[in-house]
Structure 1
Amino acid sequence: MKLRKVVTLLTIIIIIITFINLGFNFLLPMYLSYKLNSELDEPASTAIIGGADGPTAIYLTTQLSSNILTIILILLSIAGILYLFFTKKAVK
């Protein structure tokens, strides 16, 4: 029974973190692009600071994608919900 309470608490925390992550990574940029009327068809410029050598290139290529974190959190949320669902069925 104690394990079920721990899993329930962790599942709720992970679901909350997932919604916060989704909000900051997907919903907030979509809202800001709509609000600021940024068009994708307009020309853009790109500046490279430091070129393709040294720590800048290493730093930019080693960042963890935020989409991977979101996917992992969603999978953990689903796993927790399924665990709680199937253990509830087993108890009854």
Structure 2
Amino acid sequence: MKKEKSLKVKFITTFTVICASVTFISAFSGFLLSLSTDTKKLDSLGIISGTDGPTAVFVAGQSSFYLLTAVFALPTILGVIYLAAIRYNNKHN
């Protein structure tokens, strides 16, 4: 039982560190990219087609760095809260 709990805490710690790394990298790369380039040049074009279906063309005018940051920030915050709760329970038991 103790080994399973330790393995769970190690997994959550690793996952939290990975999510935090992605969060910081995406936040700072989006910020630095917006400083160094003109945002009009960052338009992207995507073409989605099927073999027998219609073709759709998507034009994106904004990058999604902020969405990526928000998506990975939430598990980072939850992981830190969980690990803090585990540490608090270990000290008071």
Q: Structure 1: which amino acid aligns with 2:26?
A: N
The structure 2 residue matched to 1:23, chosen from 22, 28, 32, is 28
2:20–2:72 contact (8 Å) kept in structure 1: yes
TM-score (norm 2): 0.62
Distance 1:85 1:27 in 2: 32
Q: Which amino acid aligns with 2:82?
A: Y
TM-score for the superposition, normalised by structure 1: 0.63
Alignment match, 1:13 = 18
- CA distance 1:64–1:24, shift in 2 (3 Å): closer
Shift of 1:20: 1.1
Classify the secondary structure of the residue corresponding to 1:55: strand
Bigger proportion of residues as strand:
2
Deviation, 1:25, is: 1.3
Aligned residues with identical type, % of pairs: 28
Q: Distance in 2 between matches of 1:90 and 1:80?
A: 15
CA RMSD of aligned residues (A): 2.8
The structure with higher relative contact order (CA 8 Å, sep 6+) is 1
Trace 1:1-92 onto structure 2 (pairs within 5 A): 1-30=6-35, 32=36, 55-56=56-57, 59-60=58-59, 65-92=64-91
Equivalences, count: 71
| Structure 2, unpaired ranges of 5+ | 1-5, 46-54
